[in-house]
Amino acid sequence: MEYYKIKNIAGYLSKIFLSNPLTPILAIAILLLGFISLQTMPREEDPQIEVSGGAVMVALPGASPQEVLNVVVKPLERRIREIKGVEHVYGMAMNNVGMVNVQYFIGEDRESSNLKLYDKVMQNMDQLPKGTMPPLVKPFDIDIDIPILTAAFYNLPHTKPDIVKLYKIIRDLQQEINALDNVSKTTLKGVKRPQFNVLIDLHKLSAYHISLGQIAQAIKSISTNAPMIDTENNKGKLVVFGVENAIDTIDDLKELIIAQYMGSPIYLKNIATVAYNYDIQNYQDALISYQKGMDNEPEAIKYNMHRHKKGEAMKAEHAEKAEFRDMAGQITLTVSKLKGTNAVHIAQEAIKKIQETKKKLNNAGVGFIITRNYGERADEAVNELVHHLEITIFIIMLILIPFLGWRESMVVTVAVPMILAATLFIAQLTDQTINRITLFAFLLSLGLIVDDAIIVIENIHRRLHLDIDKKSVDEIIVQATDEIGPSTNIATIAIILTMVPMGFVGGMMGQFMKPIPLNVPVGLAVSLFVAYVFAPYLARKFINFKKIKADVLAHHEKCEKSHKESNEEKV
Amino acid sequence: MKFEKFLYSILESRRKKWIVIGLILLALMGSVMMIPTKLVLAKMLPGKSANTFSIYIDTATNASVKETKEVAQCIVHTLEKEQEVTDMEVFLGQGAPLDYAGLVKGSAFKRTQNQAEIVVNLTDKHHRDEPSFKMVHRIRPVIQKACGQIHASTSIRFIEMPSGPPTLATVVVELYSKNNKVLRDMAQRVSAILSHTEGLVDVDVMLDDIYPTYMLSPNKEKIIRSGLSVDQVNKIIYLAFKGMPIAVKNSKDQQDQIPIFLRLQEKFRVISGENMDALKKRLSSLKLMNRKGMMVPLIEILDIHKRDSSPSILRKDLKNMAVITAECDMVSQVYPLLDARDKMLEVLKNYYDVEKIPGITTYMFDLKAKDKLTGAEVLIRWDGEMKVSLDTFRDLGGAFIAALILMFLLMVVYYKSFALSGIVLAGSFLSIIGVIVGHWVTDKISLAFADINFFLTATSLIGFISLMGISARGSLLLIDFSKALMLEGMEKNRAIALSTATRAKPILMTAVAIILGSLLLSTDPIFGGLGIALIFGSIAATVVALFFIPVLMSNTKAMELHREKESECQDEEEIPGRLCVLTDNIKGILFPRKECSDDGNEPLRERDIFTKWRDRIRVFIEKIQKVFKK
Q: Tell which wins on pLDDT, B573 or A526.
A: A526
Q: Do B89 and A332 touch (CB under 8 A)?
A: yes
Instruction: Please give, rounded to a whole number of angstroms, the shortest distance from the CA of B76 to a CA of chain A.
Output: 8
The whole-number average pLDDT for the span B502-506 is 78
| Best A191, A490, A518, A532 residue to mutate vs chain B (most B CBs within 10 Å) | A490
Beta bridge mates, A103: A53, A88
B221/A contact by beta carbon, under 8 A: no
Segment A371-422, tens digit of pLDDT: 888 888 888 888 888 888 888 888 877 877 877 777 777 888 888 888 889 9
Cβ neighbours of B235 in A, within 8 Å: 213
Q: Assess contact for B73 and B94: CB atoms under 8 A.
A: no
How many residues appear in chain A? 571
d(CA A331, CA A367): 11
The whole-number average pLDDT for the span A157-163 is 77
Segment A437-458, tens digit of pLDDT: 888 888 778 777 887 888 888 7
The residues in A 23-82 lying below 8 A from B, measured between CB atoms, are 46, 49, 51, 55, 64-66, 69, 73-74, 77-78, 81
Is the pLDDT assigned to residue B229 strictly greater than 70? Answer: yes
Give the pLDDT band (50/70/90) at residue A201.
Answer: confident
Query: Where do the H-state alpha helices sit in B210-364?
Result: 220-225, 230-237, 266-269, 276-284, 334-348
A301/B contact by beta carbon, under 8 A: yes
B538/A contact by beta carbon, under 8 A: yes
Helix, coil or strand: residue B276: helix
Q: Which string of DSSP letters, residue by residue, matches A516-561?
A: HHHHHHHHHHHHHHHHHHHHHHHHHHHS-HHHHHHHHHHHHHHHHH
Q: Tell which wins on pLDDT, A511 or B562.
A: A511
- Regarding beta strands A285-290 and A149-155, do their DSSP bridges make them parallel or antiparallel, or are they unpaired? unpaired
Cβ neighbours of B250 in A, within 8 Å: 225, 245
Beta bridge mates, A152: A332, A369
Cβ neighbours of A438 in B, within 8 Å: none
The residues in B 325-384 lying below 8 A from A, measured between CB atoms, are none
Is the pLDDT assigned to residue B60 strictly greater than 60? Answer: yes
Q: Specify the DSSP element, H or E, that contains B77.
A: helix B65-79
The whole-number average pLDDT for the span B186-191 is 86
Q: Do A196 and B258 touch (CB under 8 A)?
A: yes
Fill in the amino acid letter for A146.
Answer: I
Is the pLDDT assigned to residue B579 strictly greater than 50? Answer: no
Cβ neighbours of A518 in B, within 8 Å: none
| Best A444, A452, A499, A524 residue to mutate vs chain B (most B CBs within 10 Å) | A444
Segment A237-293, tens digit of pLDDT: 888 887 776 777 788 888 888 887 777 888 888 888 888 888 888 888 888 888 877
The whole-number average pLDDT for the span B97-101 is 81
| Rounded CA Rg of chain B | 37
CB pairs under 8 A between A and B: 450
d(CA A72, CA A69): 6
- Give whichever of A6-10, A136-140, A314-318 has the largest mean pLDDT: A136-140
Q: Do A89 and B318 touch (CB under 8 A)?
A: yes
pLDDT number for residue B606:
47
The whole-number average pLDDT for the span B215-231 is 81
| Rounded CA Rg of chain A | 37
Nearest to B484 by CA among B475, B501, B496, B469: B496
Segment B451-472, tens digit of pLDDT: 666 777 777 888 887 787 777 8
Is the pLDDT assigned to residue A135 strictly greater than 70? Answer: yes
Is the pLDDT assigned to residue B602 strictly greater than 70? Answer: no
Q: Which of B86, B264, B288 sits opposite A302 (nearest CB)?
A: B86
What is residue B355's DSSP assignment?
Answer: E
pLDDT number for residue B251:
66
pLDDT number for residue B581:
43
d(CA A128, CA A137): 14
Fill in the amino acid letter for A399.
Answer: I
Which residue does chain B place closest to A506, by CA atoms? B395
Q: Do A90 and B315 touch (CB under 8 A)?
A: yes
Q: Tell which wins on pLDDT, A85 or A303.
A: A85
Q: Assess contact for B534 and A444: CB atoms under 8 A.
A: yes
Instruction: Please give, rounded to a whole number of angstroms, the shortest distance from the CA of A236 to a CA of chain B.
Output: 33
Q: Assess contact for B175 and B292: CB atoms under 8 A.
A: no
| Best B64, B89, B294 residue to mutate vs chain A (most A CBs within 10 Å) | B89
Contacts 24+ apart (CB under 8 A), B406-412: B406/A497, B406/A498, B406/A500, B406/A501, B407/A494, B407/A497, B407/A498, B407/B468, B407/B469, B407/B472, B410/A490, B410/A493, B410/A494, B410/A497, B411/A494, B411/B472, B411/B476
The residues in A 118-147 lying below 8 A from B, measured between CB atoms, are 140, 142, 145-147
Of A496-505, A525-534, B356-365, minimum mean pLDDT range: B356-365
Helix, coil or strand: residue B354: strand
Percentage of chain B lying above the pLDDT 70 cut: 86
Cβ neighbours of A9 in B, within 8 Å: 590-591
The residues in A 475-504 lying below 8 A from B, measured between CB atoms, are 483, 485-487, 489-502, 504
Tell me what the pLDDT averaged over chain B comes to.
Answer: 78
Give the pLDDT band (50/70/90) at residue B575.
Answer: very low
Cβ neighbours of A213 in B, within 8 Å: 232, 235-236, 239, 288-289
Largest Cα–Cα separation, chain A: 150
A197/B contact by beta carbon, under 8 A: yes
A394/B contact by beta carbon, under 8 A: no
Segment B530-565, tens digit of pLDDT: 888 888 888 888 888 888 888 888 877 766 665 444
Which residue does chain B place closest to A209, by CA atoms? B295
The whole-number average pLDDT for the span A5-16 is 76
Q: Which residues contact A274 (CB under 8 A, 6 or more apart)?
A: A196, A197, A198, A199, A250, A253, A254, A268
Phi-psi region at A297: left, alpha or beta (left = phi > 0; alpha = psi -120 to 50):
beta
Vertex A251 angle, CA A250 and A253, to 5°: 70
Q: Which residues contact A81 (CB under 8 A, 6 or more apart)?
A: A89, B318
Q: Which of A202, A216, A330 sits opposite B239 (nearest CB)?
A: A216
Instruction: Please give, rounded to a whole number of angstroms, the shortest distance from the CA of B371 to a CA of chain A.
Output: 24
Q: Which of A69, A195, A371 sits opposite B119 (nearest CB)?
A: A371
Give the pLDDT band (50/70/90) at residue B47.
Answer: low
Nearest to B169 by CA among B133, B214, B205: B205
Instruction: Please give, rounded to a whole number of angstroms, the shortest distance from the CA of B54 to a CA of chain A.
Output: 12
Q: Do A332 and B395 touch (CB under 8 A)?
A: no
* B350: phi then psi, degrees, rounded to nearest 5: -70, -30
Q: Assess contact for B62 and B209: CB atoms under 8 A.
A: yes
pLDDT number for residue B587:
42
Question: What is the predicted ipTM?
Answer: 0.80
Instruction: Please give, rounded to a whole number of angstroms, the shortest distance from the CA of B91 to a CA of chain A.
Output: 4
The model's pTM: 0.79
Q: Assess contact for A509 and B487: CB atoms under 8 A.
A: no
Cβ neighbours of A247 in B, within 8 Å: 247, 249, 260
* A92: phi then psi, degrees, rounded to nearest 5: -145, 120
- Count of CB atoms within 10 A of residue B330's CB? 16
The whole-number average pLDDT for the span B484-510 is 80
pLDDT number for residue B217:
82
Q: Assess contact for A553 and A469: CB atoms under 8 A.
A: yes
Cβ neighbours of B288 in A, within 8 Å: 211-213
Q: Which residues contact B76 (CB under 8 A, 6 or more apart)?
A: A289, A327, B88, B90, B118
Give the pLDDT band (50/70/90) at residue A22.
Answer: confident
Cβ neighbours of A66 in B, within 8 Å: 310, 313
Q: Which of B86, B287, B513 sits opposite A450 (nearest CB)?
A: B513
Is the pLDDT assigned to residue A175 strictly greater than 80? Answer: yes
